[in-house]
């Protein structure tokens, strides 16, 4: 009997045992949180994964009970994190620290990392946790979010971190920017369907990525809410400085479809790449069976690394 058949044969027995052993409510909580914790049932036979699953369940319960807009702090490894929204903190923590969507293997002890779209700084904390000597430049345009980012860098005593309060674009200047003050934000040109209710309007400075690609970059993380194609195209002749990158591609209603253009640039500049669905459990608008409509909204993660 192969292992798959054994797993199918014995998992009902294991499930029955766990229902008996776990306190009331915990089993059902784990069931609805199974996507957040990965294939949590496999964790029955793996202590580390089991502990991670339970930790995620407890964190989610606590963060989802936090009132929207609350101003709180949370312990994370040896860090103290100033957070602006409990639910968003939970999602980011799960993706960055548990799923490790921005993980990379550095070739030197002090890698240079560009963090495009730093939000409150969880990715920066992750990079510093991995590589304490890392040199990081973080970009965040949102005036409502930037104070949290600045506070999380300073109060944790992080060195070698430069913060730039600006949006990434294909040209320098000042552009109109909208934000919900928590996570949702975008330059006005990437909101073709109009401004969501309650979003605040700002005028923010814009910088070009190409001006920061002047030396070897070990890792580039890009989450810039629809501007990824414009920024990559503007920097095409300097991408040879980048060794590895993760780009979050935004398929948003009303925006031009540019995934194929991004992949074409990566291919022409000797990057190997893979496109993954890093957040179907969180951003699950493109789960099978897939039916693309004009209003379909989804995100994909592009991991790319220079060949050789």
Query: CA-CA distance, 165 to 117, in Å (whole number)?
Result: 10
Nearest to 283 by CA among 238, 244, 250: 250
Residue 157's contacts (CB-CB under 8 Å, 6 or more residues apart) are: none
For residue 181, the model assigns a pLDDT of 82
Mean pLDDT value of segment 255-261 = 91
Query: Other CB atoms closer than 10 Å to residue 290's CB: what's the count?
Result: 9
Query: In angstroms, what CA-CA distances link 269 with 71, 266, 305, 306?
Result: 44, 5, 10, 8
- Going by pLDDT thresholds of 50, 70 and 90, the confidence category of residue 44 is very low
Are the C-beta atoms of residues 131 and 174 closer than 8 Å to each other?
Answer: no
Query: CA-CA distance, 95 to 265, in Å (whole number)?
Result: 27
pLDDT at 6 over 70: no
For residue 146, the model assigns a pLDDT of 97
For residue 43, the model assigns a pLDDT of 44
Exposure string (b/e) for 66-90, b if CB count within 10 Å is 16 or more?
beeeeeeebebeebebbbbbbebbb
Helix or strand holding residue 164 (H, E): strand 161-164
Query: CA-CA distance, 274 to 133, in Å (whole number)?
Result: 28
- Going by pLDDT thresholds of 50, 70 and 90, the confidence category of residue 229 is very high
Beta partners for residue 300, in sequence order: 249
Query: CA-CA distance, 27 to 167, in Å (whole number)?
Result: 44
pLDDT at 4 over 50: no
Residue 261's contacts (CB-CB under 8 Å, 6 or more residues apart) are: 229, 233
pLDDT at 32 over 70: no
CATH of domain 72-306: 3.40.50.150
Beta partners for residue 3, in sequence order: none
Percent of the chain with pLDDT over 70: 81
Query: CA-CA distance, 69 to 85, in Å (whole number)?
Result: 6
For residue 47, the model assigns a pLDDT of 60
Exposure string (b/e) for 18-30, b if CB count within 10 Å is 16 or more?
eeeeeeeeeeebb
For residue 11, the model assigns a pLDDT of 53
What is the per-residue pLDDT across 45-80, written as a single tens digit (0 to 9) for each?
Answer: 456 777 888 888 899 999 988 887 778 899 998 999
- Going by pLDDT thresholds of 50, 70 and 90, the confidence category of residue 187 is confident
For residue 118, the model assigns a pLDDT of 97
For residue 164, the model assigns a pLDDT of 98
**Of the ranges 27-31, 102-106, 165-169, which one carries the lowest mean pLDDT score?**
27-31
Higher pLDDT: 212 or 290? It is 212
Domain boundaries, the chain: 3-64, 72-306
What is the per-residue pLDDT across 115-134, written as a single tens digit (0 to 9) for each?
Answer: 999 999 999 999 999 999 99
For residue 252, the model assigns a pLDDT of 81
DSSP 242-262: EEEEEEEEEE-TTS---HHHH
Q: What is the mean pLDDT of the chain?
A: 84
């Amino acid at each position: 009997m192969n292992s798959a058949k054994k797993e199918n044969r014995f998992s009902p027995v294991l499930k029955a045992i766990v229902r008996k052993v776990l306190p009331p409510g915990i089993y059902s909580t784990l069931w609805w949180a199974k996507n957040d914790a990965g294939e949590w049932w496999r964790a029955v036979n793996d202590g580390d994964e089991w502990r991670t699953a339970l930790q995620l369940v407890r964190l989610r319960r606590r963060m989802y009970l936090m009132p929207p807009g609350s101003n709180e702090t949370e312990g994370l490894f040896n860090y103290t994190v100033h957070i602006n929204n409990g639910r968003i903190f939970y999602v980011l923590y799960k993706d960055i620290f548990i799923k490790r969507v921005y993980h990379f293997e550095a070739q030197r002890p002090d890698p240079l990392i560009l963090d495009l779209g730093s939000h409150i700084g969880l990715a920066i904390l992750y990079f510093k946790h991995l590589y304490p000597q890392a040199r990081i430049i973080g970009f965040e345009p949102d005036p409502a979010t930037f104070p949290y980012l600045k506070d999380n860098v300073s109060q944790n005593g992080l060195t070698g971190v430069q913060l730039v309060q600006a949006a990434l674009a294909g040209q320098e200047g000042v552009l109109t920017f909208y934000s919900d003050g928590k996570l949702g934000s975008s330059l006005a040109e990437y909101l073709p369907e109009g401004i969501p209710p309650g979003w605040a309007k700002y005028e923010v400075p814009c910088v070009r990525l190409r001006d920061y690609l002047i030396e070897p970059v070990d890792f580039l993380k890009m989450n810039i809410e629809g501007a990824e194609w414009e920024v990559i195209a503007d920097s095409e002749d300097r991408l040879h400085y980048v060794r590895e990158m993760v780009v979050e591609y935004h398929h948003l209603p009303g925006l031009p479809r540019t995934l194929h253009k991004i992949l074409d640039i990566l291919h022409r500049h000797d990057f190997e790449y893979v496109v993954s669905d890093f957040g179907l459990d969180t951003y699950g608008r493109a789960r099978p069976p897939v039916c693309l409509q004009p209003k379909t909204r989804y995100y994909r993660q592009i991991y790319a690394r220079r060949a050789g």
